C-alpha cells in the first residue's frame, strides 16, 4: 500500500470531518508510513508533520503502567501488593478499600475509584502528592476488585507510586525508565518544553459550526500527568508501539523490560462487558478481537485533541492517529484505524446492528445518570433513543478555565441479546458502546459509558 494512498485517505477523511490538522503513522512490513494533513492551529497555522506534538490524553496511561512494570522487573514493586505498601499515607472514603486496593487494580481499572477529583491545576513538584491527598473526597463505586470502571484517579495514584518508589518526580522517572532509553525525544510533559517544538492545539466546534481554539492548551494540571499529561509526535508513538511489539529492548539493544513482563501487559487480567474498547483489559492495554485477530490499543482525548494507538501483536503491525478538533476527532481516528486494518491486513472492523426501537425498553432506561464529574441523559421521543453527555453544570462552573463542550443528544440503539448493551450511531461518539446495570430487583440503576459507571439519579426523560 503506497504512502500516497494513505495520504489521500487521511486528507479526504479529515476534510469530511472538518479536522484542521491530523497526523497518522503505520508500522507495516517492517517499515514506517506517515500521512500528515492540515495545520496545527486555525489561528496560527503551521503545517502538521510527523514530529508535531499532539496531546495524548489517556494514551499516557500506557507509559505509567510501563514505568511500574520496569519497577516490577527491578523487584521494587509487586503488582499484587496493597498500594499502601508504597503510599502509606493513602486515605480513601472507605478505610477497608484503602487498606486492600492493589497496584494491579489501579492498572486494570478495578480499584473501585470513581473517575477523578477536581483539583487546582498546580505545576509544582508536589502537584501529584496534592492530588492523591484529595482522594478521600472521591466516592467509591464498588469494593476493589469487583468490577471495572475506568478511573483517572487510579492512574494518578499509580503515578504517585512511581514517585515514592524511585524518589524522583513522576516525569523524571518516566524519562529515566522509558523515554530516554527508547529515544522518544518528542515525548514531553511540561508545557514549557512542548512550546519549544512544533505542536498542535485543540479546537472545538460551536453550535454555529465554527471552530474555536481550545483554551487552556491542556487542562488538568500536573497532578493529572500520569493519567493524561503526555504530549508526543506520531513518529515517537510508532516507536513506542514498536517497543511494545518487540522483546523489551530499545532499538540500540538496551534492555528496558524483560520480554515476559512486556508480553504480560497484553494478556487479559479482567473481562470487559459491552465495551467498544474491547473484550478484556490487560495492564493498561485494551484487548479486542477484530475479525478474528487480537489487537491491543488505547485511545485518549484532551480538550479538542484526540489520539488512538492500536497494535496487532500477531502481525507486527501498529497504527497511530491524531486529530486536533472535536467533536469529530474520535470518529476521524476510528475511520483511519479501520481503513488501515482493512487495507494493510485485510482485517475488517464493523459495528453491530442495533435492534428495532422498543418503546417498553426505552421507557425502562430513559433517565439521568451521573458520576463525580459528568452527567449522561438518555431520552426517548417515542420513536427513538438519544444519549447526551457532558460536564455537570456545578463542576463546569467551578473550573478555573474553559472546558470542552458537551456532546449533544445523539441517536442510540440497543443491541441484540439480553445483555442491556447499547451503541451510539451518530455524532462525535459514533461507535461508542456501553451497558446498563440492574439491581437485585431487575431495575436499571446505572449505565457504563466510556468504561465509566454513571449512577441513575432520575427516570423518565422524554
Query: Which of 297, 302, 304, 303 has the alpha carbon at shortest distance from 319?
Result: 297
Burial class (CB in 10 A: 0-12, 13-18, 19+), 400: exposed
CB–CB of 153/117 below 8 Å? yes
**What secondary structure letter does DSSP report for 265?**
T
Say how far apart CA 411 and CA 55 lie, in whole Å: 29
Cα separation of 267 and 247, whole Å?
A: 15
DSSP per position, 407-458: EEEEEEEEPSSSS-EEEE-SGGGTT-EEEEEE-TTS-EEEEEETTEEEEEEE
Task: Provide φ and ψ at 60, rounded to 5°.
Answer: -55, -30
Task: Report residue 160 as a C-alpha cell.
Answer: 504517585
Q: Which residue in the list 2, 7, 30, 58 is annotated as catalytic? A: 58
Active site residue 66: no
Of the candidates 363, 359, 360, which has an alpha carbon nearest to the alpha carbon of residue 459? 363
One DSSP character per residue, 177-194 reads IIITTTT-TTEE--HHHH
- Give just the sign of the alpha carbon dihedral 448, 450, 456, 461: negative
Q: In what order do the strands lie in the sheet with 21-28?
A: 31-38, 21-28, 317-323, 305-312, 293-302, 286-290, 280-281, 270-271
Closest C-alpha to 190, from 218, 215, 156: 218
Quick one: which of 406, 322, 429 has its CA closest to 40? Answer: 322
Q: For the chain, what's the residue count?
A: 462
Q: Which three cell numbers stand for residue 119?
A: 483539583
Structure-block grid coordinates of residue 254: 538496551
Record the cell numbers describing residue 457, joined without a space: 439519579
Of 423, 298, 430, nearest in space to 16 by CA: 430
Task: Enumerate the active-site residues.
Answer: 58
Amino acid at each position: 500500500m503506497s504512502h500516497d494512498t494513505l495520504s489521500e485517505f487521511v486528507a479526504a477523511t479529515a476534510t469530511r470531518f472538518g479536522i484542521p490538522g491530523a497526523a497518522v503513522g503505520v508500522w507495516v512490513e517492517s517499515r514506517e508510513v506517515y500521512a500528515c494533513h492540515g495545520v496545527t492551529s486555525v489561528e496560527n497555522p503551521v503545517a502538521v508533520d510527523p514530529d508535531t506534538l499532539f496531546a495524548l490524553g489517556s494514551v499516557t496511561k500506557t507509559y505509567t503502567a510501563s514505568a511500574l512494570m520496569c519497577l516490577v522487573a527491578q523487584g521494587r514493586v509487586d503488582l499484587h501488593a496493597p498500594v499502601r505498601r508504597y503510599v502509606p499515607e493513602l486515605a480513601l472514603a472507605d478505610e477497608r478499600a484503602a487498606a486492600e486496593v492493589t497496584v494491579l487494580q489501579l492498572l486494570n481499572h478495578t480499584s473501585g475509584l470513581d473517575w477523578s477529583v477536581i483539583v487546582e491545576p498546580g505545576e509544582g513538584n508536589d502537584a501529584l502528592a496534592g492530588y492523591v491527598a484529595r482522594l478521600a473526597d472521591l466516592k467509591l463505586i464498588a469494593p476493589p476488585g469487583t468490577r471495572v470502571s475506568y478511573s483517572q484517579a487510579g492512574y494518578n495514584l499509580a503515578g504517585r507510586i512511581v514517585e515514592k518508589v524511585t524518589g524522583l518526580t513522576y516525569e523524571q522517572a518516566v524519562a529515566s525508565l522509558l523515554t530516554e532509553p527508547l529515544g522518544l525525544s518528542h515525548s514531553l510533559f511540561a508545557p514549557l518544553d512542548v512550546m519549544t517544538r512544533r505542536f498542535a492545539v485543540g479546537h472545538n466546534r460551536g453550535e454555529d459550526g465554527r471552530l474555536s481554539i481550545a483554551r487552556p492548551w491542556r487542562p488538568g494540571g500536573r497532578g493529572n500527568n500520569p493519567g493524561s499529561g503526555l504530549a508526543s509526535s506520531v513518529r515517537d508513538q510508532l516507536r513506542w508501539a514498536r517497543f511494545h511489539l518487540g522483546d523489551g529492548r530499545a532499538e540500540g539493544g538496551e534492555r528496558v523490560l524483560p520480554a515476559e513482563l512486556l508480553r504480560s501487559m497484553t494478556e487479559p487480567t479482567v473481562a470487559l462487558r459491552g465495551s467498544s474498547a474491547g473484550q478484556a483489559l490487560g495492564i493498561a492495554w485494551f484487548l479486542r478481537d477484530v475479525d478474528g485477530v487480537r489487537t491491543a490499543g488505547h485511545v485518549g482525548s484532551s480538550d479538542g485533541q484526540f489520539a488512538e494507538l492500536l497494535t496487532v501483536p500477531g502481525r507486527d503491525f501498529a497504527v497511530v492517529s491524531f486529530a486536533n478538533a472535536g467533536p469529530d476527532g474520535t470518529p476521524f481516528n476510528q475511520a483511519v484505524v479501520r481503513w488501515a486494518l482493512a487495507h494493510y491486513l485485510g482485517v475488517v472492523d464493523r459495528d453491530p446492528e442495533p435492534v428495532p426501537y422498543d418503546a417498553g425498553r426505552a421507557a425502562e432506561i430513559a433517565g439521568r445518570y451521573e458520576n463525580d464529574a459528568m452527567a449522561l441523559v438518555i431520552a426517548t421521543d417515542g420513536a427513538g433513543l438519544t444519549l447526551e453527555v457532558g460536564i455537570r453544570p456545578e463542576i463546569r462552573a467551578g473550573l478555573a478555565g474553559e472546558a470542552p463542550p458537551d456532546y449533544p443528544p445523539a441517536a442510540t440503539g440497543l443491541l441484540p441479546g439480553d445483555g442491556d448493551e447499547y451503541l451510539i450511531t451518530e455524532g462525535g461518539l459514533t461507535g461508542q458502546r456501553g451497558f446498563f446495570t440492574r439491581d437485585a430487583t431487575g431495575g436499571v440503576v446505572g449505565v457504563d459509558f466510556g468504561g465509566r459507571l454513571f449512577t441513575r439519579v432520575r427516570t423518565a426523560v422524554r
